[in-house]
């Protein structure tokens, strides 16, 4: 290559990389502009709240909910700022209150303090500051897992048990007249040793089981975290929620009925007793987490489905995979990406932390654990940059510092490859297909390594077919993978390997209806791989970058380049909008070279 052609190559590469990266929305088929207004998910408000809390706590503001004879205290100002920025990002009042209270709780705020005057609860304080009305748990929905249910299941079950006389170990009609309802019970042996802990244990168990059964009855997985959370919240609506209990549960004055409810809910749902925050390793008592979050949830007002989905993703910070997907090894759609922001917040609150150090830790964790680390880091970059439009701060700084080097490398590598392959005579469509195929193989290899290690036996998955339009003839199904995927795969579990055809359109419905149930473990092993390829296709670098380079080289118009790249992409085709975004980026590159 002579000097002139070498210089032209570098100009095209520079223009292409800068154009592709200039708008974070052009790297994804997700509607990230809508996310900045709270439409579809509330991950942008979550990141913004993390920014506010990190800024305030790092300058010394106390997150403590104090038992003070005062109208205002520092936690109120923290809540007000966090709630406002969540609203700025599109959250309504109840959702903003829930997000702010949950993140502040994880950052060190206590959920409750004080009896009676001066009594404060984090959830009710957040609700009051947000200016929203109290709402019963029966009206609060779970997160969407295809379908969703409400806390009515837990509330109904608890009330049924209560009416039957099966909830409290003591019947109110048996308490002497004038004794019940006051200090003789509330702070005496009958209340603290019998009624409150007895109702907390029984009620949380009944409510949790009802949630799990209702989820199953709605064709949903019985999600353990939400079942336990709603089960605990249902009984905490009824009992004295901050009553002390007998010392078998812990030191007197340190353990409340909320903890007992959390403990029973955790046991009923089958959750681990201890949880550990990713990166920091901080250990958390699961019973306390569930009891405290249940207390917050029952006080917070009426959050919507996406508010509870945001809470689910906030709780993805734990190594045990308690809930959510955004911080786990499998990349979800961009609307769910916010777990890294909460992890970054908790890292930034540690003594001696710096944004650069946290950025490095975030990147190292993703490189070590993700099925597709590059996609994970680009997703982090997109969401971090979009969140700065609502609120800048140390958390978005850490996310952008962490992900920009990876984004730059990935875009440059793909631009170089596209330029050289086009110059060698390859078609744009072939280049896109090869990039997608290589991504498939990467996910299969890294996923197999991770799951084999986790399960202690060999797990391998190889997709022998990834195509569109498995069972429908509509144009949408024929163009976009996510709407009607046709998947065949070879799955190895231990010493046994089977081949399944029509996994989503035939095998899954059969197994769910009891036909060929022996395939169920193989479907469970395959599920994370399928999720990674079908959902994280919303990062469309394998379409955008080749289209931009082809247009910048003058091989075809921006419109034609975008159409061919999008049509060739299987995994990266995502959902409608891919072509328009690739074309916009290509136009920028062409205009840059024309100057």
3-state secondary structure of 281: coil
Give the model's pLDDT for residue 204.
98
Give pLDDT, residue 390: 96
Q: What's the half-sphere exposure (Cβ side, CA atoms, 13 Å) at 220?
A: 20
User: What is the per-residue DSSP string for 66-126?
Assistant: ---S-S--HHHHHHHHHHHHHHHTT--HHHHHHHHHHHHHHTT--SEE-SSTT-EEHHHHH
What 8-state DSSP symbol labels residue 176?
P
**8 Å CB contact between 371 and 330:** yes
| Radius of gyration of the chain measured on its C-alpha atoms | 26
What spatial distance separates the first Cα and last Cα of the chain, rounded to whole Å? Answer: 24
CB 64 within 8 A of CB 328: no
At 538 the pLDDT is 87
Classify residue 174 by burial, with Cβ atoms within 10 Å: 0-12, 13-18, 19+: exposed
Residue 404 tokens read as 């920009």
Q: What is the pLDDT of residues 322-361, one digit of tens each?
A: 999 889 999 999 999 999 999 999 999 999 999 999 999 9
pLDDT in tens, 206-229: 999 999 999 999 999 999 999 999
Q: What is the pLDDT at residue 440?
A: 96
Residues 6+ apart with CB under 8 A from 431: 417, 418, 421, 422, 546
Q: Quick one: which of 236, 209, 223 has its CA closest to 153? A: 209
Contact between residue 47 and residue 385 where contact means Cβ atoms under 8 Å apart? no
Q: Which residues contact 531 (CB under 8 A, 6 or more apart)?
A: 325, 330, 332
For 541, how many CA atoms within 13 A lie in the half-sphere containing its CB? 27
Residue with tokens 């006051």: 182
- The residues of the chain scoring below 50 in pLDDT are none
Tokens of 589: 């590159």
Instruction: Check residue 535 and give its pLDDT.
Output: 82
Quote the pLDDT of residue 479: 81
**This prediction's pTM:** 0.96
- Sort 280 into a burial class: Cβ within 10 Å, 0-12 / 13-18 / 19+: middle
- Each domain of the chain, given as residue ranges in start order, spans 1-30+426-594, 43-130, 137-300, 326-410
């Amino acid at each position: 290559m002579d000097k002139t052609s070498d210089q032209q190559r570098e100009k095209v590469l520079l223009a292409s990389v800068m154009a592709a990266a200039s708008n974070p929305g052009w790297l994804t088929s997700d509607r990230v502009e809508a996310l900045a207004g709270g439409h579809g998910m509330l991950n942008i408000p979550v990141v913004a709240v993390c920014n506010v809390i990190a800024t305030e706590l790092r300058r010394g503001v106390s997150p403590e909910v104090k038992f003070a004879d005062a109208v205002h205290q520092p936690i109120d100002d923290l809540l007000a700022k966090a709630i406002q920025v969540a609203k700025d990002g599109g959250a309504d009042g109840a959702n903003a209150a829930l997000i702010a209270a949950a993140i502040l709780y994880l950052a060190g705020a206590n959920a409750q303090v004080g009896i009676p005057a001066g009594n404060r609860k984090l959830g009710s304080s957040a609700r009051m500051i947000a200016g929203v009305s109290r709402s019963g748990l029966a009206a609060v929905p779970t997160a969407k897992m295809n379908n969703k249910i409400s806390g009515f299941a837990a509330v109904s079950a608890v009330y049924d048990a209560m009416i039957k006389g099966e909830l409290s170990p003591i019947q109110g009609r048996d308490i002497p007249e004038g004794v019940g309802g006051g200090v003789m019970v509330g702070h005496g042996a009958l209340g603290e040793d019998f009624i409150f802990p007895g109702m907390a244990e029984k009620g949380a168990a009944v409510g949790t089981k009802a949630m799990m059964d209702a989820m199953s009855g709605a064709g949903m997985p019985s999600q353990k975290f939400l079942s336990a959370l709603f089960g605990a919240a249902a009984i905490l609506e009824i009992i004295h929620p901050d009553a002390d209990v007998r010392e078998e549960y812990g030191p007197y004055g340190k353990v409340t009925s909320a903890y007992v409810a959390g403990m029973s809910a955790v046991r009923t749902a089958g959750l681990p007793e201890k949880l550990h925050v990713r990166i920091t390793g901080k250990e958390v008592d699961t019973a306390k987490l569930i009891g405290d979050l249940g207390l917050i949830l029952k006080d917070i007002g009426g959050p919507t489905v996406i508010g509870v989905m945001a809470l689910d993703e906030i709780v993805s910070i734990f190594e045990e995979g308690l809930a959510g997907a955004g911080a786990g090894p499998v990349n979800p759609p961009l609307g769910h990406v916010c777990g890294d922001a909460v992890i970054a917040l908790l890292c930034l609150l540690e003594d001696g932390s710096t944004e650069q150090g946290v950025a490095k830790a975030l990147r190292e964790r993703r490189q070590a654990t993700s099925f597709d680390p590059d996609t994970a880091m680009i997703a982090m970059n997109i969401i971090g940059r979009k969140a700065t439009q609502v609120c800048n701060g140390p958390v978005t700084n850490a996310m952008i510092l962490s992900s920009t080097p990876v984004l730059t490398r990935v875009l440059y590598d793909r631009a170089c490859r596209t330029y050289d392959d086009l110059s060698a005579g390859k078609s744009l469509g072939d280049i896109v297909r090869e990039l997608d195929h290589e991504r498939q193989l990467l996910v299969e290899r890294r996923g197999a390594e991770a799951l084999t290690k986790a399960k202690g036996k060999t797990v391998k998955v190889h997709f022998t077919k990834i195509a569109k339009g498995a069972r429908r003839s509509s144009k949408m199904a024929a163009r976009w993978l996510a709407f009607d995927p046709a998947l065949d795969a070879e799955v190895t579990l231990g010493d046994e390997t089977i081949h399944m055809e029509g996994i989503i359109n035939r095998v899954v419905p059969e197994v769910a209806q009891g036909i060929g149930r022996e395939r169920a473990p193989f479907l469970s092993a395959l599920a994370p791989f399928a999720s990674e390829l079908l959902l994280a296709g919303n990062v469309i670098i394998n379409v955008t970058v080749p289209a931009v380079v082809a247009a910048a080289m003058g091989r075809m118009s921006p419109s034609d380049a975008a159409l061919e790249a999008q049509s060739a992409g299987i995994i990266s085709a995502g959902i409608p909008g891919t072509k328009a975004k690739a074309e916009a980026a290509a136009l920028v590159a062409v205009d840059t070279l024309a100057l």
